[in-house]
Every structure is written in structure tokens, then in C-alpha cells.
Chains A and B, each alone.
Chain A
Amino acid sequence: MTKKLLTIFKKTLLTLAFPVGMFLVMWLITAVSGVNNFVSPIIMRQVLTNGSLTTIIALAIYLQFKNGRFDFSGGATMILTAIIAGNVTYNAGGNFLMFLGLCVAVGVILSFITSIIYSFSRVPVIICTIAVTLVYEAITYLIFDAKGLNIISYDIAMFGKVPFIFIPLVIAVIVFLFYSNFTVEGKRGKLLSMGQRSAVNIGIAENKNVITCYLVTGIILGLGALVYGSQNIISPQSNLSTSSILFSYIVPVFIGMFLGRASVDAVGIAVASIGMEIMNSGLDCLGVGGGGVQQIIFGMFMLGFYAFSGQFEKLKNLFMRKTLKNTI
């Protein structure tokens, strides 16, 4: 029993190493630069709010990733979901629970449409989702007088703030973990992603699995839309501009996939998101937030981390001969 406890302790330590390390580094840098407002409740709250949003979106992106697909339409689905659900809730005078419900419902419906188009058109998933992205973006111009969404200062935007933001976050993590670890379709999805052809031969119905997986992604994207719409003013989108959402939230996915090996992938992503937000907030405090410098640091960090984790794998292989057998 103590051994088990020890492993859990070790795993927790390894997982938390990234955000804690990031915090210490940023703290040191800000302290040296004479900025003393880095360690403050406001910053911590900002880290938690932004980190929660990042986690939810990253989970949605990662769920498709994990199932072997690169889904380009995630950002567009989220934006469109937020616009529809937010405006409907507002116009109907609904409360935050209605907003939550509608977000999930619309997210699921849009994802369902995407999955239907993909599985019946049999167009390669990137191309198919690019096309879907264009359509969803175009729809943002056609509905609600192309107003987009602006509800951040209403009560229905409650889920955008600490502590309520943890509710969609926890739901998203639970849905993610539950689907991928405990459900039949989750297991099938794992088999399909690791060996698509074999799994189909064995008799796993791929279309059904794709659709189920998209439905679950729809729930998480809906939650993402809920938080995103509660925190941001959304304007209509065009020409794949939503891909920038995808690209900026994909970095925590990369990092989280690596960190997740110490424990659970979803936790890795949450921890990576928090760590990245600590970095962003630190940069904000230093006065380089939002500008070109931040982008450059962000890019450097991503490449550095990816390179490191790549080498890490090679180092590990040196000590484990087993992989040799598999390559032949």
C-alpha cells in the first residue's frame, strides 16, 4: 500500500514540476526586473481563469488528436456555438444554466454535423474539416445580424469567472476521462487510432465511433464555447481566421501530451495550460504581454520544449532495448 502511495506521490510531483518550475522562473525574472506585482491574488485569478479556458479547448483538440484525427474545425465550431447559444440565451432572457445547456446542445449538434459530413463524404479529415470550418465561419455572418456575441458583462457570463469557471472545467475533464477510459466507444476509438485497418477488420464500426467521438468533442467544445463566450467579445469570422484559435491552443496540447505521460493525459494538459498561463501572466507583468516579444518567446518555448521532449524519448530508448525488436 505504501508503495502505491509512493508512486502516486512521485507522479504528482513529476506532474506539478512544470507549473511550479514555471512559476519559480517567472517569479525570479519578475523579481530581478523589479516587478513586484507578479505574486498577487489578481494574477493568480487570471492564471486560473485563462488556464481553465485553455484546458477545456486543449482537451477538445486533444480528444480528436488522440483518436488519430487533426480536426481543423474545432475553433469554428466553438465560435459558432458560443454565438448561437449566447444570443439565444440572451434574447430569451435565460439564465447561466440555460447558456450552459444550450452551449453543450449546440456544440454537440454542430460536431454531429461535422462528423456526418466526414464519415459519409470520406474526404480526408483535414480537408473535410477545413471545408466545414469555412461553412461555420460563414454562418457567423448570417445569424443575429452578424453581431457576433457580446455578453461578457451579463450574469449569464458567470461561467467565465472564478470560481464558477471550475464547473465547466471539471465537467470537461470528467467527460474526457470517462469517455476515453471507461466507455466502449472510447476503447474502440483507442483501437481505431492505433491500428485503423486492423480494427476495422476486426469489426469495429468506424463511422459509429467517429460520430460518437465527435459528439463527446461537441460536449467539450460546447463547454469551451461557454467559457470563451463568457470571457470574450466574439466577432464574426472568415477565411479560416478561427485556425488561429487552434494554433494558439495547440501548444498546451503538445506540452500536455508529454507531461501526461507522468500521470494522466487530461491532467497533463490541465497542468500544461496552467504553466503556459503562468508564463503569459509573467510576461504581462514584465510589460511584454500581447506584443511581438511575447509571440517570439512563446514560439521559442514551444520549439524548445518539443525538442527537449523529442530528445527525452531518445535518451529513454538508449536505456530500453525493447524498442529495437519492434522496429524490425
Chain B
Amino acid sequence: MKKTLKKIISLALVAVMACSCAALAGCDGGKGEKVKIGIGLYQDQGPAVTATRAFLDGISEELNCEFTYVTLSQTDEAANKTAAQQLISSGCKGMILTMDSATEAILQECEKAGVYLGGYLSDYETSFDKVKNNPNFVGTVVDGRYSGTQWGEEIAERIINEGYKNIGMIKFPSFAFPHQNEMDTAFRAKIEEYNKTAADADKITVQAETTELMFQPLSADYFSANPDIDAIYGMCAGVDFIYPTLTQNNKTNIKLYTAGFSVDDSVLSNFGTSGNGCFQELVFSNVEAITYPLVMILNKIDGEEFSDNPSEAQRVDSSQIRITNNEELDTVKEKSMYYTGKFENSFLSASDVSALLAKNGGTHEDLVKAVQSMAMEDLEAK
């Protein structure tokens, strides 16, 4: 009886091995001369991942590319280097990574193997100055705008217009997200400017010291420390870190202006005037922005160069979709690939991307323009 059991287990092991073998063999597919590009995302799930994959799937045929995905760690450089190495080892000619982590070490590997690296939705804050002249680094496209000033001002204007008087301020620690300081400063400056001219009753109170979240949900004592707030400017990802605390403490009457987006109905059904109306602003970056590093890498691989190629690697802003009211939300639901996860909703078609390649006559200016013309008005115009 025991012996049979052992045999069964051995057989099972062999079977598992064999199955995985077969599965793997299936994975290989037609190789041809497709160019292999590795994509390292710091999330392994979620709408951004789905949309990125959908976009790359949609354009892979036209560009004759094949994409391999790995998940990066947000905190562990060694793990990220291993992931990058494995991409190189599996034959990738280029890599697009969303984390600026161990970048210098990874670039050394790239130099050894002749692989190109590009950044995606990341400003490469820590390493950019050191790597921008590295021939294997093609530049990065930022998650929205590099500077936070503009958005801070925009939110301040909305708040002034919509008449909220007591504003809570929440952000991530500045060691991790330095640009949220700019939003903070810009917001406060704008409000102060308004307060100078406003009647006493209309003056806006802003939380004196911005609360920093250590990547943990807001704690309930926030409400006892700031009892009277009627709106929160959440510079950090408020969907995951602020909203849960609001619902749990029945504070959804507080309006939330925050970065980030969710395709989840629990968020969207409470946006603007619908549901509890807690969410007033959501912002996300378009996954199509990956076109920038991708095109730059493909140019390098092709051995082509833009006529107006910049002398050093660039940090390019991308346009963001700001959702400020229900109509805009409906537009997003209808037309944005980020929400639908369907390639047909993409800003750029496969041939659009292909046309941007240097060998097809594209220019750097076109490329930058392409990733910067994907804002709300562009979506509405689509």
C-alpha cells in the first residue's frame, strides 16, 4: 500500500515534469527572427498590466516583436537584477523596466550583452543623471509630468471653484516620491493666493502638516486629528490607501481628489455625482506611452537613428487622463484601453507605432508628440 503510494507519487512527479515540459514547448511558438523584448512591470496584475499586454500584443505582429514579461520587486534590487539577467539570458535584445532599481548594475549587464534598456512610466529619479549618457540606455517616459507643480495647481483651482473649505493633505514620503512635494507646495501656494483676496468666510483651511503614508492605509486616527475636513487632496494612490479608511469609518462624505485609477466598480460607482460621490478626481497615465522606449529600443536594434535624435537619453513627459466628472468617466469607460483592456481602443494603432520608427521616417519630435497627445480631450475627440 505504502509502496504503491510512493509509486503513484513518483509517477505524479514525472507527469508534472512532463506536462510542464509540454506546456513550455508550446510556449516557444514560432520563433523566426522576431525581436525579443523583455518587459519588467512592478505589478503582476491589475488594469495597467492588462492594458500594457493588450497594447503590446496588438502591435507585436506589425513590429515583428515578441514580448516576455517579468515582475519586478519594488524594494529588492538584487531580485530585479536577476530578473533582468534572465531576460537577457533568454535572448531579449531590449528591456523596458518600470522600476529604477539597480539600474546601473543592470546597464552593465546590458553593455556586456549588447541589450538596450528603456524606462516606462518612471522618472528614473535616482539614476537618471548617471545613466543618461550610457549608450545602452534609450531614455524613459515619465508617469505623467516630471514636475508635480501643474497638477497641484489644477487641483487647487478645482477646490476653490467647488467651494470646499477644509482640506486634508495626504502623500507618500518624499524619499520615495519627491515630486509629490512639488504638488504639495504648488497647491498650498495657490490656496494661499486665493485666501489673500477671499472673504473671511470663504477662506480655505489646509491641513497644516501633510500626512505621510508609509505605504500603509491611512489610519483611523487621522479623522480624530483632523475632524472638520470636507475634502482630501490625496497625492498618493488614494484608491488603495485612503478610500478604504474613509468607507470603514463612514467618512465617505469627505471628497477625495487623488491620483490613480481603478477599473473596479466599487470605485467608479462612487465617482462624481453617483454613489456616495466620494471620488472627485482620478488620474492615470496611458499605457500607450510605452511606445516611447519601445521605438527608441527598436531604432537601436535596427541600427537606425532619428534625424533629430537627442544627444543624450531623454526623460519624456507623457500625457495623463484626468477624470474630473461623470461625463469624462463615461468617455473613459467607453474609449480608453486602460479601462476596456482592448487593443481596438488604443490611441495608437500598430501601423501608427510602426510609422514612428526611424527606418520608416519617424522623428523624435513625432514620437514625443505621440506620447503627449493622449489627454482627456484627445480621448473625447477620438
Contact = CB atoms under 8 A, between A and B. Distances in A.
Q: Within the complex, are A and B direct neighbours (CB within 8 Å)?
A: yes
Interface of A: 37-38, 40, 42-43, 45-46, 49, 120, 141, 145-148, 150-154, 157, 160-161, 231-233, 235-236, 281, 284-285, 289-291
Given A45-B249, A49-B248, A235-B45, A150 B264 contact: yes
Most chain A beta carbons < 10 A, residue from B50, B223, B248, B270:
B248
A147 B224 contact: no
B213 A42 contact: no
Interface in B200-251: 213-217, 219-221, 223-225, 240, 243-244, 247-249
B243 A153 contact: yes
- Max chain A C-beta neighbours (<10 A), residue from B213, B221, B267: B221
A202 to B, nearest CB: 24
B180 to A, nearest CB: 17
Nearest to A230: B248
B221 A46 contact: yes
A152 B45 contact: no
Range for the number of chain B residues in contact with chain A:
20 to 34
B366 interface: no
A235 to B, nearest CB: 7
Contact of B248 (A37, A152, A236, A289): A152
B220 A233 contact: no
Nearest to B263: A147
A273 B272 CA distance: 39
Contacts of B243: 153
A43 B244 contact: no
A46 B224 CA distance: 11
Given A150-B266, A153-B267, 19 more contacts: A37-B224, A37-B225, A40-B224, A43-B220, A43-B221, A49-B248, A120-B5, A141-B45, A145-B50, A147-B45, A151-B266, A153-B243, A231-B244, A231-B248, A232-B217, A236-B44, A284-B219, A285-B221, A289-B214
A153 B219 contact: no
Contact of A233 (B219, B221, B240, B249): B240
Nearest to A294: B214
A152 B217 CA distance: 12
B58 to A, nearest CB: 18
15 contacts: A42-B221, A45-B249, A46-B221, A141-B45, A147-B46, A148-B45, A150-B264, A150-B266, A152-B266, A154-B266, A160-B248, A231-B244, A236-B44, A284-B219, A290-B219
A179 B266 CA distance: 38
A30 B188 CA distance: 29
Contacts of A40: 221, 224
A73 B221 CA distance: 33
A236 B224 CA distance: 33
A235 B214 CA distance: 18
A150 B45 contact: no
